[in-house]
Structure 1
Amino acid sequence: MYSRRIKYVFKKIRDANLKYHLIANGDTVAVGMSGGKDSLTLLYFLTLLKKYTPLNFAIKPVYIDLGFGNDISPLEKFCQELKLPLCVEPTNIGKIVFEMRKEKNPCSLCANLRRGALNRVAKIHGCNKVALGHHLDDAVTTLFMSMLYERRYHLFKPKTYLDRMDITVIRPLIYVEEKDIKLICEQLGIMPVQNLCPASGQTKRQEIKELVEMIEQNFPGAKANILASIENVDQDSFWFA
């Protein structure tokens, strides 16, 4: 028997899949595994989606090794328990970002290189889709970052086709709040991989994330309402010259 929270999150993922047609019969889905709570939760629920819905699709977890020396044994064990072989792709992305380029704001470059490596490996393994662990909080935080730092309205979509790679990126956790992911990891005893990135916890994204949490504390339900407003855009309200 699954807990009420697991059933609740499963419904959120199923709703997102039904609305945005994220996964279809015959898909082969590469799941980007950082080893963090988000990607681990995503992988777990994709196995449930495959088990408890009529969808017939393949799941291939992929870990892009950035070269920081992370101990990924918890991730390997988790994949073994789900009976899914983990594909590990070694890279020198960490060295490029921190030693060769010496980026002051390394996260953007690192993310781009990591996504490129993930998409490339996904294509090599015959995948037509790549699933990422971005959740509701990530969407709201990204929107705030674009407005406060970039002076524009911009954020990722639940489903994006990359024509150059001929691959579709999906985000099945888009309706799931981070607090529910944390509670499910605690409930299931899911152990994340320790993040050894030198920039961990020192980013602009973390600052905006804390701002969003402060808003949520003062206005309960604010994050869900902001996400709903993203889906309910009145284009006539935008200012176009």
Structure 2
Amino acid sequence: MSLIMHIPVSSNLQKLRKFLEGRTGKAIMEYNMIEDGDTVLVCCSGGKDSYTLLAMLMALQQRAPVKFRLIAMNLDQKQPGFPADVLPAYFESIGIEYRIVEADTYSVVKDKIPEGKTTCSLCSRLRRGIIYRTAKELGANKIALGHHRDDMVHTLFLNMLFGGKLKAMPPKLVTDDKAHVVIRPLAYCSEADIAKFARGMDFPIIPCNLCGSQENLQRQKIKEMMHDWDKRYPGRTESVFTAIQNVVPSHLGDNGLFDFRNLTLDTPVDEGDIAFDSPEMPISGTIPIKLPA
């Protein structure tokens, strides 16, 4: 039995844990993320999101109607100052099967990326390849990542404003080599709730700034923009996430999703011409799109 379930917690923390477990379970069920007999590789970086992800999956494993195996994995990228003993000790303490993979991607990134440039893209590609290879070695058919609702919304705006694509971060996807299914069980959980839970559980957080300051990242600008929106207009992030789940192709402009060229009077169209009606918004006024300088 996992020791994680026996950590004394306050009543408020207990309520928050049950809420997060409920949201995680709902996402898993609605997207059919985990099935009977699955082996799930849980990627753990040492941050609040991955600790919460592991806690949620271990709790749900105890009472799920299907049987599945969990393997925690950490990739030690040999970043200077990385406390290599923290995660193995934690995994041992909660009784989870785990694998620590050592790969000096840090040196590779530093060699390939000029000083001052963002390292995240190359680092992410290298890390992804190692994770896929490890999953194959361990016989894991599912790979669980700790991305939450806010990450998914931020990715949507990142792609819209900087990439010219209406594309977010899916709750579930198949890897390019068709060998694994990547799942994001925290898709319905907010970053604020995860942060509160992590503080309450006193997880041994490993700082994420070991590779140096990345303050000018475009993602950080999007995060600041959404934080400002949510502060002035509470519920904006949740509303945008709901929109991701309610797509109306006939009211966008992608010929690949809707055949505008051959549109006729007899073509069935979702929601018809109500697009010309005044929208009923839950708040008054407009929300200006302004990225932080």
TM-score normalised by structure 2 residue count: 0.78
Q: Does 1:208 align with 2:219?
A: no
Q: In structure 2, do the counterparts of structure 1 residues 156 and 81 end up closer, same or farther at CA, with 3 Å as the change threshold?
A: same
> What does residue 136 of structure 1 align with?
149
- The amino acid across from 1:106 in the alignment is T
**Aligned equivalents of 1:52, 1:202: Cα separation in 2:** 43
The residue aligned with 1:113 is 126
In structure 2, do the counterparts of structure 1 residues 55 and 112 end up closer, same or farther at CA, with 3 Å as the change threshold?
Answer: same
1:86 aligned to 93, 98, 105, which one?
A: 98
1:221 is aligned to 235
Partner of 2:174: 161
Amino acid paired to 1:102: P
Q: 1:199 to 1:117 in 2, by over 3 A?
A: farther
1:43 paired residue number: 54
Higher RCO (C-alpha 8 Å, min separation 6)? 1
**Other-structure match for 2:107:** 95
1:29 aligns with 2:40: yes
Letter in structure 1 aligned against 2:143: V
Which has the larger displacement, 23-32 or 148-157? 148-157
Amino acid at match of 1:61: A
Structure 1: which amino acid aligns with 2:134? V
1:240 aligns with 2:251: no
Structure 2 unaligned regions, length at least 5: 1-8, 256-293
CA-to-partner distance for each residue in 1:122-143, whole Å, 9 max, x for gaps? 1101100100000001001101
Q: Deviation above 4 Å: which 4+ runs of structure 1?
A: 199-202
Residues 61-101 of structure 1 deviation map (CA, whole Å, 9 limit, x = unaligned): 11111110310333223212220133111112111112234
Q: How does 1:52-67 map to 2 (within 5 A)?
A: 52-67=63-78
The SS at the match of 1:3 is helix
**Which letter maps to 2:97?**
P
Q: Which residue of 2 aligns with 1:71?
A: 83
Higher alpha-carbon deviation: 157-166 or 228-237: 157-166
**Unaligned 5+ runs, structure 1:** none
User: SS state of the match for residue 185, structure 1?
Assistant: helix
**2:284 matched to which residue of 1?**
none
User: What displacement does 1:240 show?
Assistant: 3.1
Once residues 72 and 4 of structure 1 are traced to their aligned partners in structure 2, the CA distance between those partners, rounded to angstroms, is 32
Classify 1:79/1:129 alpha carbon distance in 2 versus 1 (closer, same or farther; 3 Å).
Answer: same
Q: CA RMSD in A?
A: 1.6
Q: Structure 1 stretch 49-58 or stretch 18-27: which is displaced more?
A: 49-58
Q: Distance in 1 between matches of 2:157 and 2:151?
A: 10
The CA distance in 2 between the partners of 1:99 and 1:34, in whole Å, is 23
Q: How far did residue 201 of structure 1 move?
A: 4.3
Greater Cα offset, 9-18 or 159-168: 159-168
Question: Which one has a bigger Cα radius of gyration?
Answer: 2
Residue in 2 that maps onto 1:123: 136
Question: Matched residue pairs, number?
Answer: 241
SS of 2:42's equivalent? strand
Partner Cα distance (1:12, 1:75) in 2:
26
Distance 1:6 1:116 in 2: 32
What amino acid is aligned across from residue 137 of structure 1 in structure 2? D
Is 205-214 or 191-200 further displaced after alignment? 191-200
Equivalent-residue separation in structure 1 for 2:65 and 2:134 (angstroms)? 27
Pairwise CA distance, 1:200: 4.5
SS in 1 for 2:222: helix
